[in-house]
Structure 1
């Protein structure tokens, strides 16, 4: 929350207010508690657990203070705000999102038993053993919090399957199909991959600022352009991607003057040591490749759209990713029959894998071969794959995802 947000919250005495056709309530937290919540408990602890990033021989040392005096009170405050809004609109449906608020649903339900809520988890859900990084009380609290909802949603059948199995392992819950029974309640667990907004992307692709950035890219681009657009997050696997690109150039030196990688990276969570260290590693790897890599670190989404339009190959080699919207946004606006090289551990692989060139995120040699295969793919095959991805994205768009969330809650309410 910015200082400006705090001022706006104070102007409304912490109450909700109408803003752009919706009601908004800004929940102000003690700064020290929020720091424990966000920069220790949520990130990196939960984020690293769910993306399988911890090197368990050395890290982490579980931080009880950050959990007890950060994650728990922030969830309590968010639950209090939710309850205040339910007092004003008792029949409202409540939608919780992601790993920041795993405890809040149970707090709300204990005070509001007739709650109708859904919790969508946008990041991967690992297998049961990964959760032993959290001590048993905290581990059970995460699962019990999620199972206080009526619906728990994930982007893929893989993450849903892991969640269902771990509900049995961690809580001893009864699982039958896509329903979990726990403490006398039944919860529906769904797989609903989020889509893009085609109208928004169409508008962005023709935006004058995007076109201006695209002209600059065209003026300086080589014959072929490999693009990656990511945050500077260890889960995005940027370092291995650079190594793979360098290895491909070693194996195919005839491409050195004909292809370049453009890496557009948005700086992420630089107040967390693991993230700051990763940026340094990214910069070192890029420097080792010289002018074969054009590394740009900064927040410029319109530049990313321009790069999406111009890629010949889009590299998405995430270690693990709940979905990965880059793998959808990029091909949707691309103007060069570009090929997507996609990690098998990205959630979007479940939808797009048949039209992408699949890679194992840990296999640098395999990624190098995949980049070469994508760069040298026949034009007709490139076009066929891209058109298939676009057709899928138009059918399974953001609006359809929103409708599915409401339908799932209706399904629970009707008992079907």
Structure 2
């Protein structure tokens, strides 16, 4: 009785393969030759000295005010750019245009907004103020792209330094970035959390706020002390300046606190004069020259310390943000308008123009020095902010202020900005400045 081999079919198949495989291979040669003729391969023209870029970031641990978690200082990380070169543009001149597309975020979904600027949560009934975009005359500002911003600050520390307008701008930025990546609050310190830091673990990026309303050393007025500030104009405020070696980008914003009564000193404690100090027997010298000297001291400290450490830093000065009180701020002054001013309807003049001029001039003077390790630009938002009287909290600095029989003559906030609101535009322009820096269009002097 015969048996059937389980390998019979396999053996026949193997014989056929051996017979026809060489002919199949030979037939592929002409096809391959035709492919190379019509679609030749392109190889990079590398010399023996060409090298691949180093894409491994170097990290440096550090501390910030009372030993918080360490910061990371950046190096070039080899990322690919995902944006085009922004056009050369004068962002200061333009108009507000009504658009259907609203802001990236709302006040009920962002956990970093200071309560007094959360206009939606506090019951502001109109929403038209959310649907205006700034259109410069020469170009168009792209909508804020949180992905690009986070790419640009990967492994970096960005510090906002100044008064409550610095905090207002910072919180706007955090809310827009949080639409892509949620930040972790990793450090708080000081009354009303005036020193805070957030970390974006997705990009190892740190964003901080440092309270310093004068940038120079000062003693702020208090309810149980003198009713005036004391400023030492030639001494930088070390609460932020001591961390300069750990900052990669710094945004300065000051102005409104210089309007308060103050006495001004030099390093040797000699009194230079004062602003609105009846009964103190000091010479009234106003605050314009004081603002200039304080900003000059701060910019010099940044430049000198980074140059001494041979570390580059990018700096931005946000110009003065006008208020819109109709009447005295402490006497039921309000900001009831619900639409932006038309172009030419409100002129930039008086104190608003003078404060802006000083800040822009000091930025230009510092840039002329041409230091290699200090790149600086003015974020000139004064005029575009002047045209937005509708963007402040007004009475909605308080929750539902006009209901339940509350007197309509409630205190208004016509200085800070609702979030979301016009201040988001500041960070859109900031991003355009950063993109130009990244592309080398604002070159450091060699």
Q: TM-score, normalised on structure 2?
A: 0.25
Pick 1 or 2: higher relative contact order, CA cutoff 8 A, min separation 6: 2
Bigger radius of gyration: 2
Point out the structure with the larger helix share.
1
Q: TM-score, normalised on structure 1?
A: 0.26
